[in-house]
Structure 1
Amino acid sequence: MRNISDIIEAHLKEIIESNNQNAIEIKRSEVADHFQCVPSQINYVINTRFTVEKGYIVESKRGGGGYIRIIRIQHQDKMQLLNELIKLIEPRVSQQGAIDIIERLLEEELITEREAKLMVSAITRDVLAVQLSLRDELRSRILASMLATLKYKE
Structure 2
Amino acid sequence: MRNISDLIEQYLKGMLQESTEGAVEIQRNELADRFSCVPSQINYVISTRFTLEKGYLVESKRGGGGYIRIQRVELPTLKAIQGHIAQTIGNEVDQAAAEGLIYQLEEAEMISKREANLIRAAVARDVIALKLPMRDEVRARLLKAMLITLLVK
Q: Provide TM-score, normalisation by structure 1.
A: 0.87
Partner of 2:69: 69
Work out whether residues 22 and 71 of structure 2, in 8 Å CA contact, stay in contact via their aligned partners in 1.
yes
Q: For 1:40 and 1:85, how far apart are their aligned partners in 2?
A: 34
Please say if 1:58 is aligned against 2:85.
no
Structure 2 letter corresponding to 1:112: S
TM-superposition CA deviations, 1:62-82 (whole Å, max 9, x none): 111111100011245123355
Q: Sequence identity, in percent?
A: 52
Partner of 1:102: 102
Q: For 1:81 and 1:47, how far apart are their aligned partners in 2?
A: 26
The total of aligned residue pairs comes to: 153
Work out whether residues 29 and 39 of structure 1, in 8 Å CA contact, stay in contact via their aligned partners in 2.
yes
Work out whether residues 111 and 151 of structure 2, in 8 Å CA contact, stay in contact via their aligned partners in 1.
no
Work out whether residues 79 and 151 of structure 1, in 8 Å CA contact, stay in contact via their aligned partners in 2.
no
* Shift in Å, 1:11: 0.4
* Shift in Å, 1:33: 1.3
Please say if 1:152 is aligned against 2:152.
yes
Partner of 2:127: 127
Structure 2 letter corresponding to 1:50: F
Q: For 1:23 and 1:43, how far apart are their aligned partners in 2?
A: 17
Please say if 1:39 is aligned against 2:31.
no
Work out whether residues 24 and 71 of structure 2, in 8 Å CA contact, stay in contact via their aligned partners in 1.
yes
Q: For 1:54 and 1:145, how far apart are their aligned partners in 2?
A: 20
Please say if 1:93 is aligned against 2:82.
no
TM-superposition CA deviations, 1:38-86 (whole Å, max 9, x none): 1111111111111112111111111111111000112451233553343
Q: For 1:18 and 1:103, how far apart are their aligned partners in 2?
A: 21
Q: For 1:82 and 1:54, how far apart are their aligned partners in 2?
A: 18
Summarize the Cα distance change of 1:10–1:117 in structure 2 as closer, same or farther, 3 Å threshold. Answer: same
TM-superposition CA deviations, 1:11-59 (whole Å, max 9, x none): 0000110111110001111111111111111111111111112111111
